[in-house]
Amino acid sequence: MSDIHQRKRDHIELCNSGDVQAGDHGGLFGEVTLVHDALPELSMDEVDLSTRFLDHTLRAPLMLTGMTGGPAEAGEINRGLARVCEQAGLAFGVGSQRVITKDAASLATFQVREAAPDVVLLGNLGVMQARDLGPQRVAELVRSIGADYLAIHLNPAMELVQPGAEADSDFRNGYETIARMVDALPVPVIVKECGTGLAPWVVERLQAAGVRGVDLSGSGGTSWVKVEALRAEGRQHDLGLLFADWGIPTAAAIAMVADAPLLKIASGGVADGLTAAKALALGADVAGMARPVLQAFLAGGAEGAGAFLDYVRGGLRMAVALTGCRRPAELKRAPRVLGPRLQAWVEQSRRFER
């Protein structure tokens, strides 16, 4: 049991202080400029950030995406951040619940309802673990933490860098597994990547399978491939560094599926309110972040994390107003200018066929 707990401790430490950024493109958000409105004809009292999140309403279109769970310190982080999210009216996701299947005692580190009874809570499990466990056991994991939704995560690039004993390398029957979970689970299913993005044809097939939302989780923020490379040795280390920048930049991942009729969460390189506004303008419904909030919490506890999220909300609110909008959804119609690298992704995606 200690090996998987140590892995989770490594993840926390590397995400807090390690060089785990995916390249220098920042998710291509630098390729997005929102056009300033010098006479927006509104009062700031009219700006309302509240947003629907499937069956719930958030006070702002922001969420903390899945981070951790397992060792005792992960429980402290989860409970503290869940409480902060509840107070701010944001959604909160736990890390992969796979560890519970290997160490039942670790369940307590995912149980945040006592600390935050009303937070919008997302469970988390890998698609391959869901396949192997089956719907009944997955449903038990969802109920065990009182989750409102289950995020099924996809992370093939990350898996291929992990040491052999930790990795899963059989990626078959993924769509079938997700469709089974959609039909059988007591909560809606969201599918998320882990920092390398979802291509348009993947999103299309997930929607056809009944998935109600996707976290596009593109390249531009924390590279989980790089995280695993820094834990690995020899060939796995070298392969991880080779593929550390692999993936679809977050801004491109959003823009390519802007019209898809399901909840779209944008994470990967979102660390402030202006970037969140850009993500929403490109077509996302909610912006997600993890590492910046974790760092704020580890540096200053719940107060530090809360202050950071206040800063993010303030930046988003300001961007909404300065584009002449009153609601976050209106950003999708706000004028914007796209740079050539992002424009190339959008234009060439029309030729993608699978």
Query: Tens-digit pLDDT profile for the chain (354 aa)?
Result: 457 777 778 677 877 777 878 878 999 999 999 999 999 999 999 999 999 999 999 999 999 999 888 788 999 999 999 999 999 999 999 999 999 999 999 999 999 999 999 999 999 999 999 999 999 999 999 999 999 999 999 999 999 998 765 667 899 999 999 999 999 999 999 999 999 999 999 999 999 999 999 999 999 998 888 888 888 889 999 998 999 999 999 999 999 999 999 999 999 999 999 999 999 999 999 999 999 999 999 999 999 999 999 999 999 999 999 999 999 999 999 999 999 999 999 999 888 877
Structure tokens that stand for 340 in this block = 């050539």
Confidence (pLDDT) at 1: 43
Confidence (pLDDT) at 225: 87
| Domain locations along the chain | 2-349
CATH no. for 2-349 = 3.20.20.70
Whole-number Å distance between alpha carbons of 204 and 1: 38
* CA proximity to 195, closest of 227, 168, 230: 227
What residue has token string 């998320």?
192
